[in-house]
Structure 1
């Protein structure tokens, strides 16, 4: 996509998907204890009893994967706004890589979780834990980057995720 074709902002759908995925990811972290305990019981050979929070975690993971795919389709079909002018080119490149890493980590978490839960693949569960920590680090970096944009570069990139440019 050339600079002339780049949108000036995100669409309503892109913004809704961003915040929807963020909410689902937050819920996955906050309500993970039931599925963690169930996995531990499964590994120990004990019976896993039904818990609605386990089902919610599984459904949340599937929903995240589907929303990530939708976000990627929109990213490549509609495009994304350019980096703010105040941002140095190397940081813009790192930002681009970070966004791609988000998509990869979110998809990888969903897939590794499904492989562990539905097929009992223990290495997938280990990978899921590693990816979970990497995603948390990337989320922290993402939030810090918004603060740097706001206070150091004096650009309000947060506004782009609040107000649509359809």
Structure 2
């Protein structure tokens, strides 16, 4: 696989699309919690637009994350800029943790909602603070590269460079 300077247009679009979808989920996810509590009380949930939007956005995150992983495997990614070993490991594991949550959160949500598995719902809810911490770390790392390191790393996610 050839060494890449940047990400493809598709990789960039998927990155920002998933970012918007995750932000949407974090802001508007409470309707789903209300619907789930109704299900747990053997009531019929109020299937509002917000509940359907949460389900559809979650499925989209799952599909787009799988697509991103496929592109990562087939096309590759640019090499990380050199840094201290601790920072390099944090970046590597931070990215893989984000991918894991982008896959596991929708899967556990679907298993809970469509399979009625309460334990999956509990695990699904645990992903909210995890994704907040991971996204915050991701954003802070990007800002560190942009304003402290000034290494142009953020440009790779703004426009294709290959």
Normalising by structure 2, what TM-score? 0.95
Which residue is equivalent to 1:99? 95
Whole-angstrom distance in 1 between the partners of 2:89 and 2:46: 47
Higher alpha-carbon deviation: 141-150 or 12-21: 141-150
Instruction: Give the counterpart of 2:132 among 127, 133, 136.
Output: 136
Deviating 4+ runs (over 3 angstroms): none
CA deviations over 1:58-110 (Å, ceiling 9, x no partner): 1111111010010001111111111123x223312220111111111110001
Equivalent residue runs for 1:1-166 within 5 Å:
1=1, 5-85=2-82, 87-166=83-162
Q: What RMSD over aligned residues (CA atoms) do the two structures have, in Å?
A: 1.2
Q: Structure 2 regions of 5+ residues with no counterpart?
A: none
Q: Structure 1 regions of 5+ residues with no counterpart?
A: none
* Aligned-partner SS, 2:45: coil
Q: How many residues align?
A: 162
Whole-angstrom distance in 2 between the partners of 1:33 and 1:94: 31
Whole-angstrom distance in 1 between the partners of 2:58 and 2:47: 17
